[in-house]
Chains A and B, each alone.
Chain A
Amino acid sequence: MSFPWAKQYEPTTDLGKWMDKQLPLPRFIYDAVGAGYPAPRNLNYMWNFGSLAGIFLVVQIVTGIILTMHYAANANIAFDSVEHIMRNVNGGWMFRYAHANGASFFFIALYLHIGRGLYYGSYKAPREMLWLLGVVIYLLAMATGFLGYVLPWGQMSFWGAKVITGLFEAIPLVGKPIQELLLGGFAPDNAALNRFFSLHYLLPFVIVGVVIMHIWALHIPGSNNPTGVDVKGPQDTVPFHPYYTAKDGWTLGVALIFFAAMMFFLPNALGHADNYIPANPLSTPAHIVPEWYFWPWYAILRAFTFDFLFIPAKLLGVIAMFSAILVWFFLPWLDTSPVRSGTYRPKMRIAFGLLIIFTIILFICGGAPAEEPYVMISQVASAYYFAYFLIILPLLSRIEKPLPLPNSITEAVTGKPLEKAS
């Protein structure tokens, strides 16, 4: 695929040749993440989080399959089966803490990967499909994370399930039946727990499928790069292996050190104390909050405090919360500036910086109790969030004067024009 100068796979052993004839799997790997994939030579460290997210997805699947061997998806014993894993299963505590913290690290990698795409215009032509598939992965990951948090059947599991499925209730006419369908009853109980478990086991494999399509779609145009300028010749690229395998490899080590520090020394820091109390439908926790990776969307949900004409505030909040992510699907057609990279877009850079600041504010407000001043702060931050995607980017595409672009990646890296560079 991709570039004509890509190295060709040439099996050297008899076994390799035989394999290549019968099932060219080594060739497939070689072309996908080996020396057969030419990648721009100037990728910075923000390009490391895609492969990192992929590795954490594998961590989640492996630890999850092992946990499933000991977990019991039954409302009566789910909580105790988790404690059984923590106390009696050999190394069970390690698998559970790895799984619980691995979800957070997967989302950290996803957020940095998405942020990279937003800043460097990776969603623009010819990579729209790549971007759309990425948004699908993110949506599936959110669903999986939510379903997984319900499985220990603690207080926050139960009440989180109740609140999140309760959002669907806000939809007129069909809301109530949808909620009952999701839960398999009127309130979260054994039926809900069982279907959540079934889907929590299914969705990661769906994510793997979409990830494969995501990488497939990546290999057709090839990777974007910090200049946003197209690859023009062999000098602009280096083979993915060994260059980017080595780069991704050592940063994977750094990421895993953080991961190990978290899961071995602060394993419950990202969780919630209430989830160590068994689910109790008769006792509502003082503050019901989802996991940290949902906080910005939770803040947007709660930012709508006033009805608009006949639309109740709760419904507005639900629509806005879903729109906040669905807007990403339209991004390639909202931002039509021909320049991809934010580095060469002076006004977009400022607007993007504000987006990051306001999103961090939304993270903080989403985790805070639904009190003033957090609600007012989330209102301003959410207003900017929507304005960035729906008003500012479309306007900037028209009025912004971009800085001059380098003629090629090689020129940007070496200072010499593409042809003469050695």
Chain B
Amino acid sequence: MVKFFGGLIGLFFSGWLLVSFVMGAIEYTTNPPEKAVEYQFHEDSKKVSFKSDGPLGKFDRQQLQRGFQVYKEVCAACHSLRLVAFRNLADLGYNEDEVKAIAANWPIQTPDIDPDTGEASSRPSLPADMFPKPFANDVAAAAANNNAIPPDLSLITKARVGGAPYLYSLLTGYQDPPADLPDSAKPGAGLYYNPYFANLNLAMAPPLVADDQVSYSDGTNATIDQMAKDVSAFLIWTAEPKLEERKQTGWAVVAFLLLATILGYMSFRTIWADEKAAKKNKADA
């Protein structure tokens, strides 16, 4: 009975799937789907490497500080960094006084409540504060940015396929639309063509427009390429501040496991010696 009804169900499922396949294949060959414009013009991220890549990767703290400077002077006007606190900047190599100064002098103040009147107010930030948001709320952010809310950057390198290389490609990828781009895909008002962006046109104006837009204090030449690379490296850190701790722990764990596995394998061989011998006898016979 099980076999009979099972067979009927199997014939139905498999049969209908094959019928669907044939109908789909006919549709596919007679009326092949057109490739979307995005598909033709979209480009994969540029190949770029960071010091923090790979199992042995470590942050380049100089680069993180430069990247932080780019964030502060260029990105922070529109993009929040809500999951990062000023105190976290100590990881970048700033000392306590420097962190205090960065927090106190941050152009946007931390929202607070006036202790006397209870009214909304603001005050200079402390190291324990998170980075204040540039806009009071999403409506204000959208209103100021052609209806596109600038995404928070705390996790951006983990929240986009392609990670930091994608970010670097996007920042350096603004260009004039190609001549053969169909009208439907041409950038509308307030949009900018960038083949690394999923739907080709981006509401963010090119943020890095000229060399030496920021002046690095460590003497590094602030080309657009360098600034894009530095800020991408900085945003790897904001997304994964425990990256170095993670990789170092990983090596210790793998080393321990390797040793334990070798010892385990040796005891396995010893315990099974008789059984292996019995098997070997068979092979020899």
Q: Do A and B make up one complex? A: yes
- Enumerate B15-45 residues with CB–CB distance to A below 8 Å: 15-21, 23-25, 28, 33
B20: chain A residues within 8 A (beta carbon): 303-306, 379
A264 engages B16 (CB within 8 Å): no
Is there a chain A Cβ closer than 8 Å to B247's Cβ? Answer: yes
What B residues does A371 contact at CB under 8 A? 33
Using Cβ atoms and an 8 Å threshold, which residues of chain B touch A238?
Answer: 275
Pick the contact of B249: A94, A246, A257, A384 (CB < 8 A).
A94
Chain B 227-285 interface residues, beta-carbon cutoff 8 Å to A: 239, 241-242, 245-247, 249-251, 253-254, 257-258, 260-261, 264-265, 267-268, 271-272, 275, 278-279, 281-282, 285
Chain A residue nearest to B275 in the complex (CB)? A41
Q: Is the CB of B250 within 8 A of A380?
A: no
| Bound CA–CA A382/B265 (angstroms) | 41
Write the A94-135 contact mask toward B (1 if CB under 8 angstroms, else 0).
100100000000000000000000000000000000000000
**Interface presence of A191 (CB below 8 A):** no
A-B contacts, 29 of them at CB < 8 A, read: A41-B275, A243-B275, A246-B267, A247-B268, A253-B260, A263-B250, A264-B249, A264-B253, A267-B246, A268-B158, A273-B160, A274-B159, A303-B20, A306-B16, A333-B3, A372-B33, A373-B28, A380-B18, A382-B13, A383-B15, A383-B18, A384-B14, A386-B17, A390-B11, A390-B13, A391-B10, A394-B6, A413-B279, A413-B282
> Nearest chain B CB to A276's CB is how many angstroms away?
4
Instruction: Report if A86 contacts B (CB, 8 A).
Output: yes
Question: Which of A253, A264, A306 sits near B23, CB closer than 8 Å?
Answer: A306
Q: Are B282 and A414 in contact (CB under 8 A)?
A: yes
Main DSSP-derived SS at the A contact region: helix
Q: What band does the interface of chain A fall in when counting residues whose beta carbon is under 8 Å from B?
A: 35 or more
Q: Residue A216 at the B interface, CB < 8 A?
A: no
Instruction: Give the 6 A-B residue pairs with the shortest CB-CB distance, closest first.
Output: A390-B10, A264-B250, A253-B261, A250-B264, A276-B159, A415-B282
* Any B CB within 8 A of the CB of A323: yes
Closest residue of chain A to B18, judged by CB?
Answer: A383
Query: Is A389 in the interface zone, CB < 8 Å from B?
Result: yes
Decide if B155 is an interface residue (CB 8 Å cutoff).
yes
A391 in contact with B261 (CB, 8 Å): no
Chain A positions within 8 Å of B25 at CB level: 376
B261: nearest chain-A partner, CB-CB: A253
- Chain B nearest CB: distance from A249 CB in Å? 5
Q: B-facing mask of A377-399, CB < 8 A → 1, else 0?
A: 00110111011011100100000
Main secondary structure of the interface of B (DSSP, over half): helix
Q: How far is the CB of A350 from chain B (nearest CB, A)?
A: 18
Q: Please, how many angstroms separate the alpha-carbon atoms of A383 and B19 in the complex?
A: 10
Say whether A246 contacts B264, CB under 8 Å: yes
Are B83 and A330 in contact, CB atoms less than 8 angstroms apart?
A: no
Are B17 and A390 touching (Cβ within 8 A)? Answer: no
How far is it, in angstroms, between the C-alpha of A359 and the C-alpha of B133 when the chains are bound?
48
Q: How far is the CA of A184 from the CA of B158 in the complex (A)?
A: 31
Q: Which residues of the other chain, B, contact A330 by a CB distance below 8 angstroms?
A: 2, 6
A49 to B209, CA, bound (A): 56
Query: A256 contacts the other chain (Cβ, under 8 Å)?
Result: yes
Question: Which of B9, B17, B251 has the most A CB atoms < 10 Å from its CB?
Answer: B17
Establish whether residues B246 and A257, one from each chain, have CB atoms under 8 Å apart when the complex forms.
no
Asked whether, in the complex, the Cβ of A383 is within 8 Å of the Cβ of B249, the reply is no
Residues of chain A within 8 A of B55, CB atoms compared:
264-265
**Closest-CB distance, A319 to chain B (whole angstroms):** 9
Residue A286 lies at the interface, judged by CB distance under 8 Å to chain B:
yes
